[in-house]
């Protein structure tokens, strides 16, 4: 998602770091609250314009997010950072709104089977939840009103349902806009997308909802994450989600790697001459905090092994 506040340098592609939410969501080890805070601060210090800092899910469902309010409250004190939280439902939105999170993201599965498994609602029931969250937002005083993103998940296929028709994705995206969502992001939740499909689907969504199309979110389950990011950019998307060290892994694909790897994405974009605003060395420092805080977890990333190419100076020099 875009929505960064007060970014100082020009950014061509806005990376939203989702590791503290999507990454930790799939990690068995509980990351200490202080470590989460330090990690998020390091990510922000590296220049990432936006961070999805937690999920306001029921802690009985995912214990990792039992400290969501404390983590989010701390992140809100970081200057020039767009703080996002995932909310699975109205109750989560209420909790996030209470502490003033300015941007909420509600997942809406394009697959009925995934919707029932993920949020125990049909797709239309989850769209109704979006309507309820918008209504909640509209009751708040103007200075406390949050932005709401509809994250269309399993948009490129589903491990439970298999194929997901493009028409279903377009219907949900259009419905979300009609319900007054501020933005719509499109997610390959299970790592099924390929670059051709990404170009086609995102171009179709763009035709359907125009500038309300915000970020694309890919998993690297089958190694196509970066190729899909390039395809998304070609389709006119300028905001991408990714996760430091590719933290995450998909619970439906054991052993498979997780989200698009932030370090690798930053390197690719900067080497293509697309400015991300991210300082690579500081990003690797944030990685060190992460690795030290989650002993035993699986981390990914090519740049962490290979380093930058000789004489690499980023987008400014590209």
Footprint on this chain of its own copies (rule: CB under 8 A) = 157-159, 162-163, 190-192, 194-197, 220-224, 226-227, 229-231, 250, 253-257, 261, 264, 267-268, 271-273, 301-303, 305-307, 309-311
Instruction: Say how far apart CA 279 and CA 294 lie, in whole Å.
Output: 23
Closest CA to 70 of 34, 103, 29: 34
Give the Cα separation of 249 and 227 in Å (integer). 18
Contact 13, 239 (CB under 8 A): yes
CA–CA separation, 64 vs 247, rounded Å? Answer: 14
Q: Would you give the DSSP letter of residue 20?
A: I
Q: Which is nearer to its own copies, 36 or 199 (CB)?
A: 199
Q: Count of CB atoms within 10 A of residue 27's CB?
A: 18
Closest to its own copies by CB, 10 or 305: 305
Kindly state the smallest distance separating residue 159's Cβ from its own copies, in Å.
6
CA dist., res. 43 & res. 246, Å (int):
14
The packing angle between helices 195-209 and 225-234, to 10°, is 40
- Min dist. Cβ of residue 37 to its own copies (A): 29
Please say which residue, 72 or 216, places its beta carbon nearer to its own copies: 216
Q: Pick between residue 27 and residue 161 the one whose CB is nearest to its own copies.
A: 161
Q: How far is the CB of 160 from its own copies (least distance, A)?
A: 8
By residue count, the chain amounts to 318
The DSSP secondary-structure symbol of 251 reads T
DSSP three-state, residue 258: coil
For the bound state, the minimum distance from the C-beta of residue 231 to its own copies, rounded and expressed in Å, comes to: 7
Report, as residue numbers or ranges, the catalytic residues. Answer: 250
Structure tokens given for 284: 């690797």
Please give the structure tokens belonging to residue 4.
């960064």
Q: How far is the CB of 315 from its own copies (least distance, A)?
A: 11
């Amino acid at each position: 998602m875009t929505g960064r506040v007060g970014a100082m340098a020009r950014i061509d592609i806005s990376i939203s770091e989702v590791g503290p939410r999507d990454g930790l969501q799939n990690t068995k080890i509980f990351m200490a609250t202080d470590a989460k805070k330090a990690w998020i601060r390091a990510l922000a210090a590296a220049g990432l314009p936006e961070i999805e800092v937690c999920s306001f899910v029921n802690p009985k469902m995912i214990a990792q997010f039992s400290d969501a309010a404390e983590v989010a409250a701390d992140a809100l004190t970081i200057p020039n950072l767009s703080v996002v939280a995932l909310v699975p439902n109205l109750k989560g939105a209420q909790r996030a709104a209470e502490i003033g999170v300015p941007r909420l993201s509600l997942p809406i599965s394009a697959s009925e089977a995934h919707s029932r498994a993920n949020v125990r609602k049909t797709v239309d029931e989850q769209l109704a939840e979006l309507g309820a969250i918008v209504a909640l937002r509209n009751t708040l005083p103007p200075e406390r009103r949050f932005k709401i993103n509809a994250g269309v998940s399993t948009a490129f296929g589903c491990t439970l349902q298999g194929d997901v028709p493009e028409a279903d994705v377009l219907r949900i995206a259009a419905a979300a806009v009609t319900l007054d969502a501020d933005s719509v992001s499109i997610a390959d939740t299970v790592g099924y997308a390929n670059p051709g499909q990404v170009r086609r689907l995102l171009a179709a969504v763009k035709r359907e909802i125009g500038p309300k199309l915000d970020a694309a979110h890919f998993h690297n389950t089958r190694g196509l994450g970066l190729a899909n990011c390039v395809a998304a950019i070609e389709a006119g998307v300028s905001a991408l989600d990714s996760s430091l060290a590719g933290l995450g892994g998909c619970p439906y694909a054991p052993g498979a790697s997780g989200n698009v790897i932030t370090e690798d994405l930053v390197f690719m974009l900067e080497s293509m001459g697309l400015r991300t605003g991210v300082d690579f060395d500081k990003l690797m420092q944030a990685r060190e905090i992460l690795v030290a805080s989650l002993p035993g977890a699986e981390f990914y990333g090519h740049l962490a092994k290979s380093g930058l190419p000789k004489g690499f100076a980023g987008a400014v020099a590209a």
